Amino acid sequence: MALDASLVGATYPPTAPYLVTAERVAEFAAATGGSWAPGAPVPPTFPIVLAFAAMQEFLDAEQVALHRIVHGEQRFAYARPVRPGDELSAVLTVASLRTIGGNDVVGTRSEVTDAAGALVCTASATLVHRGEEASA
């Protein structure tokens, strides 16, 4: 299905609160070529865990299958580093939507905030929704 241009500006429900634990950070660091011990900086791409959950809220709401999505671009701007003990949540807004060659190109912005509601990171993603020529 094609996504409707009227989605621009739409905001989706906040993701369930996510507690950043030492174990989760260590697991993520090990999965991205590194290692982590308490006191070390959290890998800067860690907030993708929140941004991905926010994207899943969007896809579910719009009934888009994840396997039709290819990640086109990702940017992070950090207000502060993530730290173990943070309880984070993300809210996604559709920033732009174009159709190119039968694919929807969706610009999204997810704001990752802490338990106090303070901004930790803005994660901007371009999602390419591949056309429906093949079905699964």
Partner 1 sequence: MSGLAAGDVLAPRTFAVTRADLVRYAGASGDRNPIHWSDRVATAVGLPGVIAHGMLTLGLAAQAVSEWTDGAEVVELGSKFTAPVVVPDDDTGVEVVVAATVTSVDDGLVRLALEVTCGGQKVLGRPTAVVRA
> Rule CB under 8 A: which residues touch partner 1?
24, 27-34, 40-41, 43-45, 48-49, 52-53, 66-78, 81, 124, 126, 130, 133-136
Closest CB 6 distance from partner 1, rounded Å: 26
4 versus 23: smaller Cβ distance to partner 1 = 23
Q: How far, in Å, are 4, 30, 32, 121, 129 from residue 92 at the CA level? A: 17, 27, 24, 12, 16
Place of tokens 């338990």: 115
4 versus 27: smaller Cβ distance to partner 1 = 27
C-alpha to C-alpha distance for 18 and 88, rounded to whole angstroms? 5
4 versus 132: smaller Cβ distance to partner 1 = 132
DSSP conformation class of 105: E
